[in-house]
Structure 1
């Protein structure tokens, strides 16, 4: 069995933001488009999948960009399925600094 993924030419958002030459290319309009794409992706995972999927580790490392700087969610290693009859609570997971502020560390 194999998994085949679309190649994301630009790599992670983290790498682009930490490279001064590439970060200049991300003007505010492109950054807003990335945020909107992530909001749509998370809304899809939470509301349109059955059962819902909770990613639990959205960070700049788990956002990949293609050649047109279109954003995609990646790295579902800590993701969990959420069944309608279960609690929202899971064990704490995620990248330090990106964990929801309401969760105890």
Structure 2
């Protein structure tokens, strides 16, 4: 498991969504494991989305500089790229996006942080 998010769908429904990522080669095994315990955890369903990709920016000082995340998210937003999941650490900011947006996302982030490079 690489990225993981748990969120309450709505206070009224009392439904919690759990989303996590694994390498594509492990997707079917992960499905089998989760389906095997789904009744025990009262899961209403299990689904896999293979059309996603993780993009990251990495560097020292990410944690102490919130402007970096803002610039990354702004560049992606301006390109109309939706962020499915966001994960951060002391040295990286990672986003899960639709697979078809990878090239555009990488170019937009590069242009944001290195505008004068060809």
Q: TM-score range by the shorter chain?
A: under 0.3
TM-score, normalised by the number of residues in structure 1: 0.24
Q: Which of the two has higher C-alpha Rg?
A: 2
Q: Quick check: which one's strand share is greater?
A: 2
Higher relative contact order (CA 8 A, sep 6+): 1
